[in-house]
Amino acid sequence: MIVFAILLLPLVSRSQFYFLGTAQPMDNGCIMLTPDYPYAEGIAYSTTPLDIRFNFEIEFDIYLGNKEEGADGITFVIHNDERGVEAFGTFGECLGYGRWNPNSTYGTYISPSIAIEFDTYFNPTQNDPEEDHVAYLENGTNYHFVDNKANTFNYNLEDGALHNFKFKWGPGEGMIRVWLDGKMVYEIEGRLQDTIFKDDPNVYWGFTASTGNKHNLQYFCLKRLATAGGLSNDEEADDQTK
For 122-131, what is each residue's pLDDT tens digit? 877 787 777 8
- Number of residues in the chain: 242
Establish if 233 belongs to a structural domain.
no
Range of the domain at 182: 8-227
Q: How far is CA 8 from CA 4, 14, 101, 232, in A?
A: 12, 16, 38, 18
In whole angstroms, what is the distance from residue 89 CA to residue 123 CA?
Answer: 17
Residues 217, 34: contact at Cβ < 8 Å?
yes
Most confident among 104-118, 136-150, 208-222 (mean pLDDT): 208-222
Residue type, 26: M
- Distance, in Å, from the CA atom of 15 to the CA atom of 57, rounded to the nearest integer, reads 21
Is 65 part of a structural domain of the chain?
yes
Which residues partner with 241 through β-bridges?
A: 6
Residues 87-115, mean pLDDT to the nearest whole number? 86
195: DSSP letter:
I
4 pLDDT more than 60: no
Query: Is residue 119 a part of any domain in this protein?
Result: yes
In this structure, what CATH number is given to the domain that contains residue 20? 2.60.120.200
* Local structure of 76: helix, strand or coil: strand
Instruction: Answer whether residue 238 is part of any domain.
Output: no
Res. 92: pLDDT tops 50: yes
How far is the C-alpha of 151 from the C-alpha of 37, rounded, in Å? 27
Average pLDDT over residues 179-201: 88
Does residue 1 sit within a domain? no
Does 17 map to a domain? yes
Q: How many domains in the chain?
A: 1
* Cα–Cα separations (whole angstroms), residue 101 to 65, 119, 123, 145, 146: 26, 16, 11, 11, 15
**pTM for the predicted model, two decimal places:** 0.85
Closest residue by Cα to residue 216 from 7, 73, 43, 31: 73
Query: What is the mean predicted confidence (pLDDT) over 87-110?
Result: 84
235 lies in a domain? no
The answer to the question of residue 81 being in a domain is: yes
What is the identity of the amino acid at 10?
P
Q: CA–CA separation, 73 vs 75, rounded Å?
A: 7
Distance of CA 183 to the CA centre of its chain: 18
**What confidence tier does 15 reach under pLDDT thresholds 50, 70, 90?**
low
